Amino acid sequence: MMKELGKKICDLCNKQYNELPKKGKPSTNQWTVLSAVVMELSQTFTVLTMATGTKCVGEKQKTPYVISDSHAEVLCLRLFRLFLLEDMTNCLQTGGGVCLERGPGQTFLLKEGVSFHFYSSCVMCGDATISEKSVMCGDATISE
């Protein structure tokens, strides 16, 4: 069942990405990583945020005006936080949002039945990739 759910989410994310205009996408001999956050509500799946990217800028290029980490998963989760902030604003203005509702006091609650799924087309960088070498690299020889 989890494998079917994963395939459904993967297919949805890739379908939506493929429907986007070609501008900004990698050419035939290039590749990128795709990450997305998908909301599930009543067996309906909606892509909330989606991003592509594969690099960080070097230390010398970092400024307050440059996104220093443009890996797909980082950009996607930043967009998801922005989505949640906008949904909170909607809750304050109208009493309800896409996935949130007003709670007691100044709190917000996830609407009944809402869940989120994170998709990435490639293993993430950093600590998220810690795994046995045989799993990560197959038969490749790794020097320590």
Contacts 24+ apart (CB under 8 A), 77-81: 77/35, 77/37, 77/49, 77/118, 79/37, 79/49, 79/50, 79/51, 80/37, 80/48, 80/49, 80/116
Helical spans, DSSP H, in 2-61: 2-19
Q: Annotated catalytic residue: which of 4, 40, 59, 73?
A: 73
Based on the residue annotation, tell me whether 4 is a catalytic residue of this protein: no
Q: Which amino acid is at 105?
A: G
Positions marked active-site: 73
